[in-house]
Amino acid sequence: ETGVTQSPTHLIKTRGQQVTLRCSSQSGHNTVSWYQQALGQGPQFIFQYYREEENGRGNFPPRFSGLQFPNYSSELNVNALELDDSALYLCASSLTSGLSTDTQYFGPGTRLTVL
Amino acid sequence: DQQVKQNSPSLSVQEGRISILNCDYTNSMFDYFLWYKKYPAEGPTFLISISSIKDKNEDGRFTVFLNKSAKHLSLHIVPSQPGDSAVYFCAASARGGGADGLTFGKGTHLIIQP
């Protein structure tokens, strides 16, 4: 059984650019959530995807968007990057059954630096 | 408006003693609580969880206690070991971790002294 993987590990972009981060879910999981962790803070929920549809969203602007693919892998896209977008981006996968979602398991994260 | 609060940024405990990490929450809709452990340059690792229908859950050296009336939970680690040195995050969700995602505290850095 493979765990959650993310790519790339590190990324440097300049303000105004666009970025795509990738995540492969743990085997058997059908739900993926994305979080942003700024320095010294806890992870903040960006959004969640289930069955290729956005299933819930935190307090993030529309320039943060995502995709989930039939194999349950996922992408996070951020447009018009701002300096404050510099953070660790975490992907978590879980199994949704009925109305509840099981424990979320996290990948190692992608460190994004915006200059 | 922080809905999950970990008021101790750091905690130092001697090896072999008990470590107690605390967490308070304000949202009464939360019904599922988790603790994650994080080493530098790694993602959070799930440790233990508790549903709001219970007041205690135990897994080996780790026990989580939930006091719903006080909106408080704690993680006990006994005995503490050097490998327990990490940042510990308390997290909460409504509807069993559903589409609202997890709400995290800012973390407590646990340091186990030899």
What are the tens digits of pLDDT across the range A63-95? 999 999 998 899 999 999 999 999 999 999 988
Chain A residues at the B interface, defined by Cβ less than 8 Å, are 4, 6, 33, 35, 40-48, 50, 55-56, 58, 90, 92, 94, 96, 99-109
H or E, element range at A9: none
Instruction: Evaluate whether B11 touches B107 at the Cβ level (below 8 Å).
Output: no
Residues 6+ apart with CB under 8 A from B75: B19, B20, B21, B23, B35, B47, B48, B62, B63, B64, B88, B90
C-alpha torsion A114→B91→B44→A33, nearest 10:
-60
Residues 6+ apart with CB under 8 A from A90: A6, A34, A35, A36, A37, A43, A106, A107, A109, B43, B44
Any chain A CB within 8 A of the CB of B25? no
| Residue of B34, B42, B95 with shortest CB distance to A103 | B34
pLDDT digits (tens, 9 = 90+) for A38-64: 998 999 999 999 889 998 899 999 999
| Residue of B6, B99, B105 with shortest CB distance to A55 | B99
| Residue of A96, A104, A109 with shortest CB distance to B102 | A104
pLDDT at residue B18 in the model = 98
Residues 6+ apart with CB under 8 A from A62: none
Residues in chain A: 115
Minimal C-alpha gap between A91 and chain B (Å) = 9
Is B89 within 8 Å of A42 when comparing Cβ atoms? yes
Any chain A CB within 8 A of the CB of B87? no
Instruction: Evaluate whether B34 touches B102 at the Cβ level (below 8 Å).
Output: yes
Sequence letter at residue B60:
G
More confident residue, B39 or A51: B39
Q: Which residues of B51-62 are buried (b: 16+ CB within 10 A; e: fewer)?
A: ebeeeeeeeeeb
Any chain A CB within 8 A of the CB of B85? no
CB atoms within 10 A of CB A97: 11
Minimal C-alpha gap between A54 and chain B (Å) = 9
Six token digits for residue B88: 């510990």
Minimal C-alpha gap between A11 and chain B (Å) = 14
pLDDT at residue A110 in the model = 97
More confident residue, B101 or B82: B82
Instruction: Evaluate whether B100 touches B94 at the Cβ level (below 8 Å).
Output: yes
What is the band of B89 on the pLDDT scale with cuts at 50, 70, 90? Answer: very high
Closest CA to B90 of B24, B43, B40, B27: B24
Q: Which residues of B touch A100 (CB under 8 A)?
A: 95-98
Tokens 């979320």, located at residue:
A104
Average pLDDT over residues B31-48: 93
